[in-house]
A and B are shown apart, each in its own frame.
Chain A
Amino acid sequence: MSSNVRALLDELYKLHPDLQSQEAHIIHIIETMLDHRPKVAIDEWFRTELRCKILSELSQQQNDSRSNFIFPTWLFSAFGTAFASVIIGVFVFYTFFPYTKLWYLTDGARTRGWLVSFVPAVEKISDHAFQIFTPLPNTQAKMGVASVPMSSDSMSSKIRASSLAPTREVDVPQYAFTGSLPPLTEKLNIYRKKIQFHESFQTEDFLNGLNLKGIKLSSLQDANISNLTITESWAYGYIVTIDSTLGSISFNPNYDTWPPYPKCNGDWCDAPTPITQEQIPSPTKLQSIADTFLDTYGIDRTLYGVPSIDTSWDPESGVEWGGENLPEVLTVIYPLLLEWKEIFEEYGSVRGLSLTYDLRSGKITNLSGLERLSLESSKYSPIQDEMTLKNLISNHGDLAPPPISPELRWSDISHTSTGISQPQAISLSSPMIAFVHLTRMNQQGAYEEYFVPAYVFSIPTIPGNPTHPKKIIIPVIKEFIPDVRTK
């Protein structure tokens, strides 16, 4: 008998001592109730959708309450006088101090209640709706996968197969996973990215939310503008590029307003001094700087996971830092979440909001990866057979990350051993379930982008091989794996 049942009985007997004679029957009832406690399966898609709607509603309420605020009539005259004084003051101030910011410009957008929320727009469509998955031709040709045969009359495949480009040959380690894989539900969502020109940025909410230091972007809403560049002219200003075709916003320094480094005098420039350890902020401090930057521009952080900080320069990180000097910049990445899961590129890097911190100026210099996704979701049955999955793992999946550089796709690399040394055997620890961003060609020959559920394994640091990939990613939907989908 569990302590829970015992506690319930004790409580019961205090009030009804005579029931002790029926203890066996009552225990049966309580235990039956406990045994029949309903099993709860939470739909993560609904959970995420509701969260987004609630945060969006809150943001709307905030804006409404601001716009609905009514000044008492008697304040109008006083406010008008004060406002005129301030305008005159600002004019005089900026005449003499043109590169100084006023308090309200440095104040965060968040404190004013403006938030730009990049909630993905998801349209649910029927199960197994994405019917066209043609693997990249060069993936098959170079990997030699026993797979869906490419159409023999495909000119492009012939060209690719006979490409003169040299194939890199590398030693590929053997991966081994002996544990139990995390279970998958019967159906999983696959997301396909929709291309929607203009639409992403022409919603009133979005433009109202993006209040770039007083610039009212919503006034441009009807102008059918697809790309917009805003240049901040004050000290340490940014060039903000809004691309409504891609649904993205990026920040880069407006270097005209940043102090030059190194300092130059005519043809002579000072020699750059190496970065010192003292100039490198702690991870906590760096995250705080990144958070503040996002808050200042009112960029909603709630859609992202816990940020990761680049610590590869630190000897204690266990990563072999390739450079002799300490880095000039550090990167903070806020992982974008889909169904509360991270999204990885097929070569293993996290997709998300990336901020670059410049150690010399002590400022955030770049922001990229801020995007508003428009997606279609369709449910698919994942591969449940553990043996098939483990074979995929040992064969590096179809999408293992490149061992040489992130710019090089795995499909461009030969899997054959060079014969120079014996392949290393690497044991993998338990994976997480996440999404992988994959590109596939449709029947019309156009590339489409998908977010596909996958097992993601972290690969331990391999001494003497700092460029070895950090992740191995195994998509679990057979339509994305050529050698599985034919079986």
Chain B
Amino acid sequence: MLGHSLQKVRSWDFSAFGDLYDASYEKIYRFIYHRTLDTYFTEDVISDVYMKAIESIGSFKGNTDAEFFAWMYRIAYTTLIDTLRKSRWEDSLEDMEIEPGFTLDYAHEIDTASKLEEILRFMETLPERDSIILTMRIWDDLSYDEIATITGISVVNAKQIVSRTLVKISANVTHLFIFSILLYVIQR
């Protein structure tokens, strides 16, 4: 499907990049949004993703849809990690904004800051990469092969990370309400 557009882009017909953009935008947007839960943040990141994509499209050698999507996911993954690391120190509990719609059902249940602080402390024990890989498997429904390609780890390693993260959550989260909060925080 996209092979023809990729060929055109390689032969300097850059208008064909519009087809690649159309085919990938929603997937990449979901991928980023699932990790940021913030529309504006997602839009910032996705802009960077596509700027990087057009800068390096010349070096991309793939021809199939799967190869192209994996390449785009990889750019999105690395851009997201970079952006999160840069922005993390700026975040604080006070300026955390909860997007309407997503947390509406349980945000009002956050009755004390101490509960949230406890969860945040727990979150600090989870490697960033692990939480992203877990949600890639569950929310984005990506296969382990795809996760391995995107993150640059082996398939076995990806499986282990998903399992290990689930085990950690299982051991530390005993209350589903807490887990719901965790789901929000895990992506911050």
Produce 1/0 per residue, A28-46, CB < 8 A to B. 1110111011111111001
Contact of A50 among B46, B137, B170 (CB under 8 A): B46
Question: Is there an interface contact between A300 and B15, defined as CB atoms closer than 8 Å?
Answer: yes
Which partner residue on chain A sits nearest B143 by CB separation? Answer: A7
B residues near A50, Cβ cutoff 8 Å: 43, 46-47, 50
Question: Is there an interface contact between A115 and B179, defined as CB atoms closer than 8 Å?
Answer: no
Known: A16-B163, A38-B102. A58 touches B173 (CB 8 A): no
Taken together as a complex, chains A and B put the C-alpha atoms of A57 and B17 apart, in Å, by 11
- What number of B residues sit within 8 Å (CB to CB) of A? 43
Known: A33-B183, A40-B29. A26 touches B170 (CB 8 A): yes
Does B188 count as interface, using CB distance less than 8 angstroms? no
Which partner residue on chain A sits nearest B53 by CB separation? Answer: A54
Question: Is there an interface contact between A55 and B18, defined as CB atoms closer than 8 Å?
Answer: yes
> Which A residues are within 8 Å of any B CB, using their own CB?
4, 8, 11-12, 14-16, 19, 22, 25-26, 28-30, 32-34, 36-43, 46-47, 50-51, 54-55, 57-59, 61-62, 110-111, 113, 115, 300-302
> Which B residues are within 8 Å of any A CB, using their own CB?
12-15, 17-18, 21-22, 25-26, 29-30, 33-34, 37, 39, 43, 46-47, 50-51, 54, 101-102, 135, 137-139, 141, 144, 159-160, 162-163, 166-167, 169-170, 173, 176, 179-180, 183
Taken together as a complex, chains A and B put the C-alpha atoms of A41 and B101 apart, in Å, by 10
B residues near A28, Cβ cutoff 8 Å: 176
Count A/B pairs, Cβ under 8 Å.
Answer: 110
DSSP class of A's interface residues: helix, strand, loop or mixed? helix
A residues near B166, Cβ cutoff 8 Å: 8, 12, 26, 29-30
Which partner residue on chain A sits nearest B34 by CB separation? Answer: A38
Taken together as a complex, chains A and B put the C-alpha atoms of A15 and B165 apart, in Å, by 12
Question: Is there an interface contact between A55 and B15, defined as CB atoms closer than 8 Å?
Answer: yes
A residues near B167, Cβ cutoff 8 Å: 12, 16, 19
Question: Is there an interface contact between B15 and A302, defined as CB atoms closer than 8 Å?
Answer: yes
Known: A12-B166, A39-B101. A51 touches B15 (CB 8 A): no
A38-B33, A55-B14, A58-B54 are known contacts; what are 17 more A-B pairs with Cβ within 8 Å?
A11-B163, A15-B159, A26-B166, A29-B169, A29-B173, A36-B183, A37-B34, A39-B101, A39-B102, A41-B101, A42-B26, A47-B29, A51-B22, A54-B54, A55-B15, A59-B14, A113-B12
